Amino acid sequence: MAVLVELRKASAGYAGRAVLHDIDLRIDAGERIAVMGRSGAGKSTLLNLLYEHLADRVALIPQAAALVRTLSVFHNVYMGRLDCHRTWHNLRTLLWPNRRDVVDIEKVLDLVGLADLLFARAGALSGGQQQRTSVARALYNGRPVIIGDEPVSALDRVQGAEILHKLGARHETLILALHDISFALAYTDRVIVLEQGRIVLDTPSRALAAADLVPYYGG
């Protein structure tokens, strides 16, 4: 497998505070990885560090949906490919969307069950709908690597499973921070657990049972 990114003794943090310490990590193209651990363990910081190394190949699903609430669902999803169009096309799309763009985005929204909300205002959506819009933006972006920070946390189990399946079907590599152990074991092939900013477990999913991961969430 081709090496996608490799970190050696990497550290990272914010506001002058170290969050990650001595991270050794290699990720190959085609892997499906769950990043797990307690709140505050450093999952988001690790995803941000990986994004810095891979930005030109990544479709990002941030923890907060990060939508422009005053714009429509269509326009928020369209922003996934802003850099693929000329400035004049992007400006025109604000007022008079191109029919081809509308059709393409409607197809993506259909994948996440939101086709009927194409021109609804993003700020009027429920939390789950906003999260699915954020997922649709990443799907529309189309880059081979998905980095997602709790991408299905606001969804019920059926919706969450459907979204994870579709992300895996359409993108070569997945790097997802997940809290749900059953989702991690079912939809990824490798589990990385962080504790106090250090990797304490890095194991193929097939070698793990739910009981192996529960201790990292207790206490």
Provide the pairing of β-strand 17-28 with 145-149.
unpaired
**Tens of pLDDT, residue by residue, the chain (219 residues):** 799 999 999 999 887 788 999 999 999 999 999 999 999 999 999 999 999 999 899 999 998 889 999 999 999 999 999 988 899 998 999 899 999 999 999 999 999 999 999 999 999 999 999 999 999 999 999 999 999 999 999 999 999 999 999 999 999 999 999 999 999 999 999 999 999 999 999 999 999 999 999 999 865
Residues in CB range of 1: below 8 A, 6 or more apart: 28, 29, 30, 31
Measured between alpha carbons, how far is 73 from 123 in angstroms, rounded to an integer?
A: 9
190 neighbors 33 (Cβ within 8 angstroms): yes
Residues in CB range of 192: below 8 A, 6 or more apart: 25, 33, 34, 35, 36, 199, 201, 202
Closest by Cα among 133, 132, 178, 141 to 55: 141
Q: Bridge-partner residues for 26, per DSSP?
A: 6
Tokens of residue 122, six digits? 């993003």
**Looking at residue 218, what is its pLDDT?**
62
**Looking at residue 158, what is its pLDDT?**
97
Q: Where are the alpha helices (DSSP H) in 85-197?
A: 87-95, 99-111, 127-141, 157-170, 181-187
DSSP 67: -
Tokens of residue 217, six digits? 């969430």
148 neighbors 177 (Cβ within 8 angstroms): yes
- The SS3 of residue 154 is coil
Architecture of the domain made up of 3-217: 3-Layer(aba) Sandwich (3.40)
Measured between alpha carbons, how far is 57 from 159 in angstroms, rounded to an integer?
A: 26
- The SS3 of residue 211 is helix
All structural domains of the chain with their residue ranges: 3-217
**Looking at residue 69, what is its pLDDT?**
96
